[in-house]
Amino acid sequence: MPTVVAETIAELRACLTTARSEGSSVALVPTMGALHEGHLALIQRARELADVVVVSIFVNPLQFAAGEDLDKYPRTFDEDLAHLEELDAALLFLPSVDEVYPDGQKQTKVVAGHVGSLYEGRTRLGHFDGVLTIVAKLLNIVQPDVVVFGQKDAQQVFLVQRMVIDLNMPVRVEVVQTVREPDGLALSSRNRFLDVKEKRAALGLSIALEAAESSADRGTDAVLAAAQSAVAGAALVDLDYLALVDPKTFLPVDDNYQGKAIVLIAARVGTTRLIDNETIFLSRRS
């Protein structure tokens, strides 16, 4: 069925008012477009959770630092709309920058706090302030019953969950596992920037995560060493960070930590920056 495209907040809210008057529940899937199978998995999950699915496509300038790829970020509206219609996603929210930020730079922003300054936040200053600000705005605009994110952006997921708790937002956050290509590469809109050699080299990230998981029974030092060794010799891969964090706090685990942990990795492959992560279970060292 055709997807309704709302370009203004007023248009979207009018559609949602009608849907809610009929007793429909609402799910939101925030995206920046260039939809791939990972996004489609989020939309499919949203369709299982709610009667009406709102997919937003907005390339948010607040989360791009100076010198980042805002201008070249892929914009593929026709392909995205075709995907949405195949999935029967009912509503596409496609606002302009002026619609979302009518007065330009906002004075009121959501600040991500200490965790927002680590890992991705250390490399991309202010990134998560921009992410949380736009997510908060979208949640206020749509007022969904559930919002759906992908685990590939693990730090983003953690910070959104904290924001929802800390600000008492009446929404459930649903997290969908990372979707990968058959060779293990995590799906990303930026993968399209990789040439054949770079795409092969990018497998170094998922190989490093596999190495980390295989060492989980030997403690934190062994996990990080195994991942570091796996990625060290990968041609074209320039490692940015490798970290092992507690999913409850998103802070680095100590040497004696046991239980669930998340291995985070980020690297530049050629000129393209990629991230990935894997949840593992650390047991006591022998």
CA–CA dist 230, 138 (Å, integer): 39
CA–CA dist 253, 284 (Å, integer): 13
CA–CA dist 194, 237 (Å, integer): 12
| Residue type for position 107 | Q
**CATH 3.30.1300.10 spans which residues of the chain?**
189-281
Residue position matching structure tokens 């593929």: 76
**CATH 3.40.50.620 spans which residues of the chain?**
4-176
Residue among 277, 217, 218 at smallest CA distance from 243: 277
| Residue type for position 24 | S
| Topology at the third CATH level for domain 189-281 | Pantoate--beta-alanine Ligase; Chain: A,domain 2 (3.30.1300)
What is residue 88's predicted lDDT score, i.e. its pLDDT?
Answer: 73
CA–CA dist 196, 284 (Å, integer): 41
Residue among 13, 4, 285 at smallest CA distance from 141: 13
What is residue 253's predicted lDDT score, i.e. its pLDDT?
Answer: 96
pTM of the model: 0.94
CA–CA dist 20, 115 (Å, integer): 36
Catalytic residue chosen out of the listed positions 39, 83, 114, 127: 39
Burial of residue 186 (CB within 10 Å: 0-12, 13-18, 19+) is buried
For residue 102, the SS3 value is coil
Full strand arrangement of the beta sheet holding 146-150: 4-6, 91-93, 52-57, 26-31, 146-150, 172-176
36 is catalytic: no
The length of the chain, given as a count of residues: 286
CATH class as words, domain 4-176: alpha beta
Spans in the chain with pLDDT lower than 70? 1-2, 66-68, 89, 105, 284-286
Strands (E), the chain: 4-6, 26-31, 52-57, 91-93, 146-150, 172-176, 237-245, 259-269, 272-282
What is residue 285's predicted lDDT score, i.e. its pLDDT?
Answer: 56
What is residue 64's predicted lDDT score, i.e. its pLDDT?
Answer: 84
Phi and psi at 229, nearest 5°, equal -65, -40
Let me know: does 124 contact 117? Beta carbons within 8 Å: no
What is residue 105's predicted lDDT score, i.e. its pLDDT?
Answer: 67
Residue position matching structure tokens 């007023």: 10
What is residue 89's predicted lDDT score, i.e. its pLDDT?
Answer: 66
Q: What is the mean pLDDT of the chain?
A: 93
Let me know: does 30 contact 147? Beta carbons within 8 Å: yes
Which residues have CB under 8 Å from 195's CB, separation 6+? 270
CA–CA dist 156, 249 (Å, integer): 13
What is residue 216's predicted lDDT score, i.e. its pLDDT?
Answer: 95
Query: Partners of 273 in the beta sheet?
Result: 268
CA–CA dist 59, 130 (Å, integer): 11
Q: Virtual CA dihedral for 133, 127, 178, 114, nearest 10 degrees?
A: -90
| Residue type for position 205 | L
